[in-house]
């Protein structure tokens, strides 16, 4: 399989829920249209932001089907198929291939964790084999508790996972990120995923990004990218200041729940997250959206 090095912004969409906690797939068409209008190139479905591991396999398939219909080929769709049970990973991978997704990706199991790079490669090989016609990305995230060498992962997986495309790299370690980009003669696609490190990743060569805040502020990131390419350091710093203010707002109000509230600036109601995250009062959700709007309009 020829490895494509992706470019541009790929959003990690929120999964919308009704007030009773049930899926609200009707919002997906509006989410897809919004991303396309903002110049986003793809969508990473049911990942951390999309609460994939808080959804059943049947729900995740329904979400994938809705994104396929809503995207209409306008977005590169990557399905996060990670789960605690390998059988669930395989079911989701097969569905992603059936639906014509661009790629699959997994977070490693976070309870019985792979304890070595060799164990991680074996797990990823099984996950990737469920959708052999699609590129496969390992999702390296600080949230999983699996902190193994990604350079060693690429070197050990090279040739053993035929459809391995690369890594979704969600870590602050830009030193390791750079080494991953050069591993195996630079063959693999290493996509950066920590939004508040955007300019830093650009500076060390990142060409593609996956992030949650692109759902409502993609135009701000695009402006920073253009300023970076133009050598306008002042504009990069000013844009990154706004980005960090938005992330600060997110963190102050509980992360995921606040991010879903921020979608109100796009006129999209994603509801509250599922337990164990606690819901935010409606007044606080509206205040968060208003505060984000003020940051973006400064």
Q: Which of 44, 138, 139, 214 is catalytic?
A: 139
Task: Find the DSSP H helices in the chain.
Answer: 28-37, 57-71, 86-98, 117-129, 150-157, 174-182, 198-203, 214-230, 233-252, 256-262, 282-297
**Active-site annotation holds for 111:** no
**Active-site annotation holds for 168:** yes
Q: CB atoms < 10 A from the CB of 230, how many?
A: 10
Q: Which of 41, 137, 138, 168 is catalytic?
A: 168
CA distance 25 to 18: 9
Six-digit token pair at 291? Answer: 């505060």
Q: What DSSP line would sit under 132-147, residue for residue?
A: TTS-EEEEEEGGGS--
Yes or no: say if 64 and 96 are a contact pair by the CB < 8 Å rule.
Answer: yes
Six-digit token pair at 286? Answer: 């509206």
Active-site amino acid positions: 139, 168
């Amino acid at each position: 399989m020829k490895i494509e090095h992706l470019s541009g912004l790929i959003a990690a969409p929120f999964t919308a829920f009704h007030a009773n906690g049930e899926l609200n797939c009707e919002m997906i068409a509006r989410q897809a249209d919004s991303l396309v209008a903002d110049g986003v190139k793809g969508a990473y479905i049911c990942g951390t932001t999309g609460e994939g591991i808080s959804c059943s396999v049947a729900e995740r398939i329904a979400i994938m089907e809705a994104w396929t219909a809503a995207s209409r080929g306008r977005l590169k769709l990557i399905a996060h198929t990670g789960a605690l049970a390998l059988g669930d990973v395989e079911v989701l991978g097969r569905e992603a291939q059936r639906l014509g997704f661009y790629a699959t990706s997994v977070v490693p199991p976070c309870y019985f964790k792979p304890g070595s790079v060799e164990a991680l490669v074996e797990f990823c090989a099984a996950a990737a084999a469920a959708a052999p016609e699609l590129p496969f990305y390992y999702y390296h995230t600080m949230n999983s508790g699996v902190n193994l060498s990604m350079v060693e992962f690429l070197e050990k997986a090279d040739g053993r996972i035929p459809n391995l495309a690369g890594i979704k790299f969600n870590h602050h370690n830009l030193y390791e990120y750079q080494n991953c980009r050069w591993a195996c003669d630079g063959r693999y696609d290493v996509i950066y995923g920590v939004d508040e490190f955007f300019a830093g990743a650009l500076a060390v060569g990142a060409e593609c990004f996956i992030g949650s805040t692109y759902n409502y502020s993609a135009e701000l990131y695009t402006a920073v990218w253009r300023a970076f390419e133009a050598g306008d350091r002042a504009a990069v710093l000013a844009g990154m200041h706004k980005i960090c203010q938005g992330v600060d707002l997110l963190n102050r109000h509980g992360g995921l729940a606040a991010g879903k509230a921020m979608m109100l600036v796009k006129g999209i109601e994603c509801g509250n997250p599922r337990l164990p995250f606690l819901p935010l009062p409606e007044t606080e959700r509206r205040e968060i959206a208003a505060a984000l709007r003020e940051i973006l309009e400064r």
